[in-house]
Amino acid sequence: MENESGSSPFKRILLKISGEALMGESQFGIESKALERICTEIKEIKKLKVEIAIVVGGGNIFRGINLVERGADRVTSDNMGMLATVINSLAMMDRLEQMGIYTRVMSAVSIEDFAEQYILRRAVRHMEKGRIVILAAGTGNPYFTTDTAAALRAMEIGADLLIKATNVDGVYSADPKKVEKAEFIPRLTYMDVLTKELKVLDSTAVSLLKDNNIPLRVINLNESGNLKRVVMGEEIGTLIS
């Protein structure tokens, strides 16, 4: 139910944004128009006094698994993917700070000339002081996706809600872009996601969220105002709990 008090029912959220969301209409990289739109949506929820952490992917710049399929070393490829998330995180920080929002990038790998080292207590302290924290470089380990990083960080920081921002309205029985009669699913359990093998998050991320009782809402970030509506408590997208 939507919160009518003008404030969020959540104290702290973690927002997972795919790297592809930053491409906009482009085929690669960061489109300034898409970056501006996403950061404007984030600025709106910042006004609700909710504490915000963000995990952003790197698929708009580099997808390690694609290189692995061509015979490259998995560890090296995943390390390159982590660096792509750092680039996206710095771009988001720059745009948010131009909007007057204090932001910190914290990296799971040592890259101190560009970002702070991720330390849990420091990240929480930044959020308590009203800063947005962008958590870069995934978990800092190969073989783990940024979805898993988002689930792990949500657990660590004590997030009340994990929001996965996508380019569809929520979870469907099949890919709605490929299957015309794909059915929209407003509510699921984590066990449903695992047993039905729904491609919402990878199974590691799903298991982490299930075991720690963190709700996940999947929403369409391309629809203006959706992010603010879900942070206000409105029932949009798909809720997985």
Distance CA 221, CA 240 (A): 17
Region 103-112: what's the mean pLDDT?
A: 96
User: Residue ranges of the domains in the chain?
Assistant: 12-240
pLDDT in tens, 44-99: 999 999 999 999 999 999 876 777 778 889 899 999 999 999 999 999 999 999 99
Give the separation between CA 177 and CA 60, rounded to whole angstroms. Answer: 19
Closest CA to 19 of 116, 120, 147: 147
pTM score over 0.75: yes
> What residues contact 126, with CB distance under 8 A and at least 6 apart?
104, 106, 133
pLDDT at 1: 39
pLDDT tens for each residue of 131-142: 999 999 999 999
pLDDT of residue 201: 86
In this structure, which topology does domain 12-240 adopt according to CATH?
A: Carbamate kinase (3.40.1160)
Average pLDDT score, the chain: 91
In three-state secondary structure terms, 88 is: helix
At 62 the pLDDT is 82
Rounded distance, CA 84 to CA 218, Å?
Answer: 23
* pLDDT tier at 7, thresholds 50, 70, 90: confident
Say what the pLDDT of residue 64 is: 67
Is residue 171 helix, strand or coil? strand
Question: How high is the pLDDT of residue 85?
Answer: 96
Residue 69 in contact with residue 96, Cβ under 8 Å?
no
Per-residue pLDDT at 119 exceeds 50: yes
- Non-local (6+) Cβ contacts of 63 within 8 A are 81
Q: What is the pLDDT of residues 54-64, one digit of tens each?
A: 999 999 998 76
User: For the segment 11-49, what is each residue's pLDDT rounded down to a tens digit?
Assistant: 999 999 999 999 988 889 999 999 999 999 999 999 999
